[in-house]
Amino acid sequence: MGSVAMDGYGDENSCWLSAKSDLIWAFIVPALIVMLINMAIIILVIRAMFGTSALSKKSRNEKAVAGARSIAILMPIMGITWVLGVFSVNEDTVVFQYLFALFNSTQGVLIFVFHCAMNKKIQKAFRKQRSKWMSLRSYTIEKSMSNSMASSSMKSTRLDDGKESIM
């Protein structure tokens, strides 16, 4: 079995993405180039962040926490998990294959957590919307209770002759 573009692409027993063939470089080189560019971008962002006046006023520990948080936020976006992909090129590195799959599958969750759930503006907007929902809910419950009380008082009123009348 071969490929339209090249011989040795793969067969029933092997994959072209193997350390045994030179075709592995078709995966490793582009992945390394992207990783280097992403690392350069992360370094530039961190340097720019530490150059701001807001961060220059903070203590060394606060700067370290801010830097670690920024790296944790940027790494999933920048696809740094592909480092594990480069290390998982043969059968001997099964651990890297599992880590690569695990971290890439959680990438969306990490982006949501760091950019939505931990975002102060989004938290504030959510609290505001939640208070609207709660006030609407309490209004609905009060309205429902007053309607049920009114209907129950209207259902059973006695006439002067002792007979019950339903209105």
- Could you tell me where the DSSP H helices lie in 81-119? 82-87, 94-105, 107-112
Is the four-CA dihedral 41, 43, 49, 53 of positive or negative sign?
Answer: negative
Tokens of 25: 């470089």
Q: Which residues pair with 10 in a beta bridge?
A: 15
pTM: 0.50
Residues 71 and 139 in one domain: no
Q: Check: CB of residue 31 under 8 Å from CB of residue 24.
A: no
Question: Which pLDDT does position 57 carry in this prediction?
Answer: 82
**Among candidate residues 105, 114, 42, 108, the one with its CA nearest the CA of residue 78:** 42
Residues 52 and 90 in one domain: yes
Residues 75 and 36 in one domain: yes
Residue 86 lies in a domain: yes
Residues 101 and 123 in one domain: no
Query: What residue has token string 């030179």?
Result: 22
Residue 162 lies in a domain: no
Question: Which pLDDT does position 84 carry in this prediction?
Answer: 81
Question: Which pLDDT does position 154 carry in this prediction?
Answer: 55
**The domain containing residue 78 runs over which residues?**
29-105
Question: Which pLDDT does position 77 carry in this prediction?
Answer: 73
Residues of the chain with pLDDT under 50: 1-5, 167
Spatial separation of the C-alpha atoms in residues 41 and 37, rounded to whole Å: 6
Tokens of 106: 């959680």
Question: Which pLDDT does position 124 carry in this prediction?
Answer: 92
Question: Which pLDDT does position 4 carry in this prediction?
Answer: 44
